[in-house]
Each structure stands twice: as structure tokens, then as C-alpha cells.
């Protein structure tokens, strides 16, 4: 890990969460668990369209120090608001009842109970080096850390294999959708729980797919190829609960209904079998209203780009993925309209300074961009992005270099 925003080591994160727990609750925690944020390499806004995406887990993790309680109370403290201890009774958790960040914690306990598991109350102290609001899945990291903690405390045994981790990810998605009220897909939670060190994970969101088929680990060793993945947190405001994300999701569902398919994935698969998908696309989408057509075009072409990107990785051609990243960004900016001036500037400045490809990552409307750069160009690209932001009068961005890291698990 190099870069301006270093990740904490396991020892450091464990010590921070443990100290906060001891200061708040007056005893040592039973244990500490941690889960990573993520960056998505390609496949944006495809997860809720039964599509494909290709994220990696970050070295940046959220740490939770936890002890079980004999009752049904959850007491929560976060390093970000140390003076406040929140209290929520598990029996009171229901859609719309929990405000703010505790929803991501108690929502997971609620979802595990909904799935038939028995969960007790607990005390929890949270600390994190996943940049907050950066589009790097700080909320999924919190949910996933709590999920593996509760899994261990209740002896559910789900964290021990990928099928169990897929079940934990499903609980985290329910927590996010139903208790936190953010209508996201499953990419972030699946990455935090199921990605592996050194690999990107190709996630397939076809409903009902067996876990064996819904995640494939694809080696992503950039250092070997003399490359690096630079992440630029633009620090432009970013929120998924503000209606734009839901509006995109709704447009995709309307498009699928009009086209008579269950999801836009079906259209992507159909075109994937065609000799000349780009030529056929306009006719296939012709029935859609003008405001919906570009949204569908993004999703369908983006699913195709995931296939192209993975094909290049499988063939050992990682140096060739840059144009695929560039095309993804253009599609997100023009067709899906989820970029913003800061993201566009990060992408343009990185490319002009020699990046092989660059795109926004995550939900958009702010958040982070990624750039694939030669390892020897990291400093030059970072400097160029910082200079471009300074020239534009934007808040200075935060920078980090991402490598595919480990999934959620026990830290201490």
C-alpha cells in the first residue's frame, strides 16, 4: 500500500476498536472483526439488473469490537462520534425505526433473525479507515464486519465457506435496503464478504444462482504487469439515499417491463450472442421512451464490457483494459448520467498524465474514480490530478493505491 490514505494494519485497527470499546463499556471486548471497502473495476449499476460486475476488496477496513449481552439490547459507539452511545432494542428494529449509522449494525442482526437465526444483544465499538462517503462502500464494510462478528458469536458457521458468506451478504443487503433504506444492489456486501486476496471477483447477480456460480475469482496482479490502480476520492458530496439511485433503478425496471424481459441482463445476453451487438442495439431498444433508452443502453453495454474486461484478464492482457474503462466512464456520464464535474476531471486529468484508462467507480454523483497507471507513473498521475483539482478550485482529493485484499473476518 502506498499513497496518501494508508490502510491500517490488523493490529492497529484492532487496537483502536478495542480501546474505544474499553473506554466506552468498561471491559474488554470478546473479539474484534473487520471487513473491507471495495472498488469496482468494471460493471457499474449492473448488480440490480441481474448483471455482472468485477470489484476488488480494499486493504481499508472497518473494525468492530464486540461482546455479546445476555439481553436484547444493542449499545453502539463509533470513533466518529465518541461521546454518544446509541442504544437500540432488537425487538424495536423494523423498517423506518432506526436513524443514521446504527441502522447498518442492528439491521444486520434483524436480517439474520428474519432468515431464521437466533441473535442476542451486543455491545459494539466501531472504528474505520474506509473513507466515509467516498463511494468505497464504508456502509457495506460496517454491515459485513457486524455480520461476521454475529456469525461467530451466535455460532452460525456461515463465515466458514463461500455459500455461507453469500447468505451473510444477503442479510447485509436486506439491512441496507430495508432498515437503512438505501435501495442498493448486492455488489458491495458480496465483495466485502466474498472477495479474496490477489483477485478480483466476478459477481453474477442472476437471481437464484448457486453461490458456486455467482462468484468467480479472477487473478488481478497489477504489480506483476508493472501497473497500479490509483483511486481518487473526489470528496464531492455523495449520497445514495437521495432519490437519484432509486430513480435509475426504477428506469431499468421500466425498461425491462417494456421490453418484455425480467431484467436487462436478458437483453445483454441476447446481444452477447449476436454477431454485431452494437449494430443491433438501437433496434432492440427502439420501443423504449427517450428518457429510459439511454439508461438501458448503459446497463446492456456495461454488462458486455464486464465480459470484455474479464476476457482480457483471462488472456493475460491486463494492459489492454484501459479503453474498456474509458468506454464505461463515457457510458456512465452520457447515458446513465451519474458522473459529476469532479469525477470527470479526475478521469480526464489522469488520462492526460498517462493513465491507460480511467473511470468513476461505485454509485456516482460524487465519490471516487479509478485510474489504471504504469507503476512508474503513479506520482506523476497523482500530481496531475491534484493540480487539476487545485486549478478548478475544488476541494483537494484523497488518493490511494488499491491492491486486491482479504474479505471480512476475525481480526483479534
Binding site for ligand GLA (CB under 6 A): 40, 44-45, 47-48, 184-185, 187-188, 362-363
Active-site residue, from 123, 127, 188, 326: 188
The verdict on whether 188 is a catalytic residue reads: yes
Burial of 213 (0-12, 13-18, 19+ CB in 10 A): exposed
To which H or E segment does residue 150 belong?
helix 138-153
Comparison of 188 and 204: residue with beta carbon closer to ligand GLA: 188
Comparison of 252 and 388: residue with beta carbon closer to ligand GLA: 252
Q: Grid cell 471497502 — which residue?
A: 37
Q: Which residues contact 9 (CB under 8 A, 6 or more apart)?
A: none
In the complex, minimum distance from the CB of residue 52 to ligand GLA, in angstroms, rounded to a whole number: 11
In the complex, minimum distance from the CB of residue 187 to ligand GLA, in angstroms, rounded to a whole number: 4
In the complex, minimum distance from the CB of residue 307 to ligand GLA, in angstroms, rounded to a whole number: 16
Q: What is the DSSP string of 170-224?
A: HHHHHIIIIIS-----SHHHHHHHH--TTEEEEEE--TT--HHHHEEEEE--TGG
In the complex, minimum distance from the CB of residue 245 to ligand GLA, in angstroms, rounded to a whole number: 7
In the complex, minimum distance from the CB of residue 369 to ligand GLA, in angstroms, rounded to a whole number: 13
Q: Are 321 and 312 in contact (CB under 8 A)?
A: yes
What is the C-alpha to C-alpha distance for residues 18 and 124, in angstroms, rounded to an integer? 10
Instruction: Give, to the nearest 10 degrees, the angle between helix 322-334 and helix 341-352.
Output: 160
C-alpha cell at 311: 476476457
Query: Cβ atoms within 10 A of the Cβ of 162, count?
Result: 17
Q: Which residues form the catalytic set?
A: 188
Amino acid at each position: 500500500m502506498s499513497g496518501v490514505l494508508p490502510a491500517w494494519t490488523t493490529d492497529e485497527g484492532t487496537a483502536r476498536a478495542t480501546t474505544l470499546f474499553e473506554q466506552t463499556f468498561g471491559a474488554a471486548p470478546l473479539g474484534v472483526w473487520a471487513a473491507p471497502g471495495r472498488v469496482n473495476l468494471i460493471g457499474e449499476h449492473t448488480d440490480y439488473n441481474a448483471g455482472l460486475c468485477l470489484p476488488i476488496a480494499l486493504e481499508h477496513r472497518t473494525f468492530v469490537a464486540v461482546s455479546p449481552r445476555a439481553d436484547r439490547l444493542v449499545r453502539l459507539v463509533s470513533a466518529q462520534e465518541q461521546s454518544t452511545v446509541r442504544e437500540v432494542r432488537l425487538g424495536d428494529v423494523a423498517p423506518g425505526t432506526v436513524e443514521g449509522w446504527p441502522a447498518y449494525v442492528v439491521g444486520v442482526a434483524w436480517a439474520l433473525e428474519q432468515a431464521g437465526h437466533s441473535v442476542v444483544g451486543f455491545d459494539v465499538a466501531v472504528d474505520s479507515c474506509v473513507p466515509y462517503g467516498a463511494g468505497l462502500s464504508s456502509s457495506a464494510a460496517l454491515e459485513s464486519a457486524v455480520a461476521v462478528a454475529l456469525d461467530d458469536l451466535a455460532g452460525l458457521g456461515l463465515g466458514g465457506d463461500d455459500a455461507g458468506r453469500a447468505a451473510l451478504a444477503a442479510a447485509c443487503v436486506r439491512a441496507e435496503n430495508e432498515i437503512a433504506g438505501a435501495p442498493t444492489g448486492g455488489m458491495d456486501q458480496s465483495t466485502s464478504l466474498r472477495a479474496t486476496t490477489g483477485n478480483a471477483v466476478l459477481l453474477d447477480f442472476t437471481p437464484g444462482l448457486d453461490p458456486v456460480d455467482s462468484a468467480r475469482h479472477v487473478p488481478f496482479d497489477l504489480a506483476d504487469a508493472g501497473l497500479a490502480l490509483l483511486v481518487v476520492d473526489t470528496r464531492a458530496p455523495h449520497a445514495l439515499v437521495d432519490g437519484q439511485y432509486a430513480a435509475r433503478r426504477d428506469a431499468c425496471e421500466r425498461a425491462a417491463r417494456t421490453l418484455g424481459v425480467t431484467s436487462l441482463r436478458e437483453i445483454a445476453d441476447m446481444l452477447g450472442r449476436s454477431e454485431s451487438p452494437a449494430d443491433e442495439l438501437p433496434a432492440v431498444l427502439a420501443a423504449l421512451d427517450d428518457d429510459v433508452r439511454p439508461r438501458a443502453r448503459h446497463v446492456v453495454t456495461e454488462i458486455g464490457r464486464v465480459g470484455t474486461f474479464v476476457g482480457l484478464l483471462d488472456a493475460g492482457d491486463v494492459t489492454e483494459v484501459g479503453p474498456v474503462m474509458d468506454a464505461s466512464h463515457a457510458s456512465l456520464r452520457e447515458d446513465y448520467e451519474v458522473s459529476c464535474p469532479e469525477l470527470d476531471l479526475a478521469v480526464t486529468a489522469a488520462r492526460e498524465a498517462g493513465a491507460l484508462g480511467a473511470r468513476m467507480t461505485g454509485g456516482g454523483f460524487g465519490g471516487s474514480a479509478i485510474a489504471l497507471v504504469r507503476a512508474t507513473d503513479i506520482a506523476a498521475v497523482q500530481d496531475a490530478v491534484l493540480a487539476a483539482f487545485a486549478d478548478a478550485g475544488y476541494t483537494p482529493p484523497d488518493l490511494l493505491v488499491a491492491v486486491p485484499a482479504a474479505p471480512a473476518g476475525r481480526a483479534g
